[in-house]
Every structure is written in structure tokens, then in C-alpha cells.
Amino acid sequence: MTVPAGWRLFARYAYAPNARGYCGPPGARVLADVARGDGAGEHVDVPALARRFSGAWPYQVLIAELAGIDDPLDARVGRAYWTGSELTGEIDARRLGELLLERFAAQAGHYWSHLTADLLEEVTPTHVFHVLGVYPWSRLLAGGRPEPLEVLDSCRIRPGTVLERRGEQLLVSAARLGWNGRELSLGEPGPELVGYWPAGDGEDPAPGDSVAIHWRHACDLLEPGSRSQLERYTSLQVEATNRRLRRSRGEP
């Protein structure tokens, strides 16, 4: 049995936060097996695992529903959510936002009071919206502790360019989020070491390749189109977050 492309894509992006114990049920090892695509993950029930990712799964369900795609784990759906794609732009973001907030507010609205209709203008059906808009961390930036920026930057999907392979790690050039006390911004790319999976299928990243980085793990090779969509949606959400933060300070 070949692992469906959408299952593998989900496993690639879900692995790193799962391995840290942040998202989904225990199961990082089997997600890595699926992600590597070397046959070891052929018998993993990815749909059962994916349903227990309370952040990502509702987006994949709603993107599929609004796009008329039967399977929430279809690779087109996963690509639209994790990095952004042409399909992302075809989704009625406001409608998705309304449906999403119904779900999230029922589950989390009593402890995350920011999950209201005020958030609708920020919605894109993407992971970077979830990180910057739904999680509470962007609202904690002004407190001055280092964790909010570190979590936002690690949790968003970051594009990077491979400089060289160093054993089980990659040296990549990638931009970090910055915070000047008032606004978020994307800095100039700089070198950093990230983890990766030596591929079982000959897809090892090579110098010059673009990769997606999630929690300091290069989880996916990015085609130029996916990289530019990721950069575009990241910029859009950073701008939307800054508008919200300005409003929260009473500025126009």
C-alpha cells in the first residue's frame, strides 16, 4: 500500500510539534515513519491521528468542505492550509472564519476570550493565521518576556534555503520574526541549523533547495510556487496582526 500524498504531507508538518508534546496524541514516531515515505508508515492510521490535532484538523475539514473536496486529508487541502496555495485564495475566508470560530469558541472561547467576531477580518485559511491570530501569544508580546516571539516564530511555517547538509542537520538561511516593542516584522535571512529526515526516497534536500521549517525541523521541500505563497500569506498575517495590536493600543 502506498501512503496517500495528503497523509504524508500532514505527517510532515504535524510531526515536530507532536514530538515536542504540543499538539495531537502521542504518535510522533509513526508520523515520522509516514513523513519519510520509506514504507515504514504504510499501516499507520493517519486520519485517526489527524482528527486529534485540535488546531489543524478543523481547518482541513472546512477547507475541504468549502472547496468541494471529499477528503480533508487530500494533499491539495493540506497544501492550502500549511503553506498556502492557489486553493487558499479561492476559499471564502470569512465563511470559513465564521464556521471556525463557532467550533473554537465552543471549545476554547471560555478561556481564550479573544476568539470573537473581531478576529474575522484577519482570517485566512492557513496555519500562519492560526498561529498569529488564534493562539494567545501575539497578545502577550507587549509583556516583554522572550517566549511569545520564540513560540510564534517556531510555530509558524518558515521558508528557508538550504546552504549545506551537516549530518543529521541542515544549515539553512531563513528569516526570523522580530518585535520592536510595538510591531512584528520579518528580518533579513540568516544562517541556522535545523533538523531534517534523511529521506528514504531520494528526496534529500540539496544546497539551494527551499524547505519548510516547523519547530526547527525542515519538514518539507518547497516548490517555488509554494514558497512564494507561504511568504505572501505570512506577510499578510503579520500585517493583520500589527493592525490588531495597533487597535488594541487605541491607535488608528
Partner 1 sequence: MCLGIPGLIVERWVRDDGAILAQADFDGELRTVQLNYLPDLQVGDYTIVHAGFALTRLDAQQAAETLRLMRETGVLAPES
Q: Which of residues 186-245 bind partner 1 (CB under 8 A)?
A: none
Between 146 and 208, CB nearer to partner 1: 146
Q: Which of residues 26-55 bind partner 1 (CB under 8 A)?
A: 26, 51-55
Q: Are strands 210-214 and 217-222 parallel, antiparallel or unpaired?
A: antiparallel
Phi, psi of 137 (to 5 degrees): -60, -35
| Min separation Cβ 180 and partner 1, Å | 22
In angstroms, rounded to a whole number, what is the distance separating the alpha carbons of residues 44 and 155?
25
Should residue 155 be labelled a site residue for partner 1 when binding is judged by CB under 8 A?
yes
Residue in this structure with the C-alpha cell 549530518, named with its chain if needed: 167
Between 103 and 165, CB nearer to partner 1: 103
| Min separation Cβ 111 and partner 1, Å | 4
Give per-residue burial for 56-84: e unless 16+ CB within 10 Å, then b: bbbbbbbbbbbbebeebbbbbbbbbbbbb
Should residue 144 be labelled a site residue for partner 1 when binding is judged by CB under 8 A?
no
Q: Which residue in the set 40, 66, 99, 135 belongs to the binding site for partner 1 (CB under 8 A)?
A: 135
Q: Which of residues 72-131 bind partner 1 (CB under 8 A)?
A: 103-104, 106-108, 110-112, 130
| Min separation Cβ 107 and partner 1, Å | 5
Q: Are strands 184-186 and 190-196 parallel, antiparallel or unpaired?
A: unpaired
The residue range among 19-27, 77-85, 86-94, 169-177 that interacts with partner 1, by the rule CB under 8 A, is 19-27
| Min separation Cβ 158 and partner 1, Å | 16
> What is the contact surface with partner 1 in residues (CB under 8 A)?
17, 20-24, 26, 51-56, 103-104, 106-108, 110-112, 130, 134-137, 140, 145, 147, 151, 154-155
